[in-house]
């Protein structure tokens, strides 16, 4: 009996609140109310950042995990520019070299706090969360992106952090 080689794909990482993600440059926002991603308007660059909240489109309710097809969800992403010294406040970007926002103490603290909050508390909407402590104490302003896309590439998962 001949044995067939397994062609199983690597399991796809499911986006979770607190994950660092990338939305590819060629992707367009699939939920018409949210228009286009900034990359569609100007320079074609991917959008990177941290998932602050995930909302299921069918119910309108916030969830902690986007299980299944990402197009069933709206992602609120804390844009990486929030921590970029070229465009952000000194307190958000202190100690960071442009292009290496993951080295920012503020980035690490916000990501850690997002992950802890997601583990311990029910999910809430991004604006409500970011405007309250501890996030209002950690960030001096922020840029939030809202999108729905079939391609949400997890760069650093909450399970690995």
Tens digit of each residue's pLDDT, the chain (161 residues): 444 444 444 445 789 999 999 998 887 777 666 655 554 455 568 889 999 999 999 999 999 999 999 999 999 999 999 999 998 888 888 888 878 888 889 999 999 999 999 999 988 889 989 999 999 999 999 999 998 988 899 997 655 44
Residue 147 lies in a domain: yes
Residue ranges making up the domain that contains 94:
20-155
- Is residue 153 reached through a cis peptide bond, with omega within 30 degrees of 0 on the bond before it? no
Structural domain count, the chain: 1
DSSP annotation of 123? -
Residue 53 lies in a domain: yes
Q: Which residues pair with 153 in a beta bridge?
A: 22
CA-to-CA distance for 60 and 74, rounded, in angstroms?
Answer: 9
End-to-end CA distance of the chain: 44
Residue 28 lies in a domain: yes
């Amino acid at each position: 009996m001949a044995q067939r080689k397994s062609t199983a794909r690597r399991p796809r990482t499911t986006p979770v609140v607190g994950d660092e993600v990338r939305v590819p440059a060629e992707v367009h926002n699939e939920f018409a109310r949210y228009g286009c991603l900034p990359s569609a308007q100007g320079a074609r660059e991917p959008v990177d950042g941290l998932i602050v909240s995930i909302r299921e489109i069918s119910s309108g309710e916030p969830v902690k995990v986007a299980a299944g097809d990402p197009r069933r969800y709206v992602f609120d992403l804390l844009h990486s520019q929030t921590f970029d010294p070229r465009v952000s406040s000194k307190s958000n970007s202190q100690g960071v070299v442009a292009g290496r926002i993951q080295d920012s103490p503020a980035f690490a603290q916000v990501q850690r706090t997002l992950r802890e909050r997601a583990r311990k508390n029910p999910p809430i909407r991004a604006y409500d969360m970011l405007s309250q402590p501890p996030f209002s104490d950690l960030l001096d302003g922020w840029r939030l992106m809202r999108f729905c896309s079939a391609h949400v590439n997890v760069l650093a998962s909450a399970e690995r952090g």
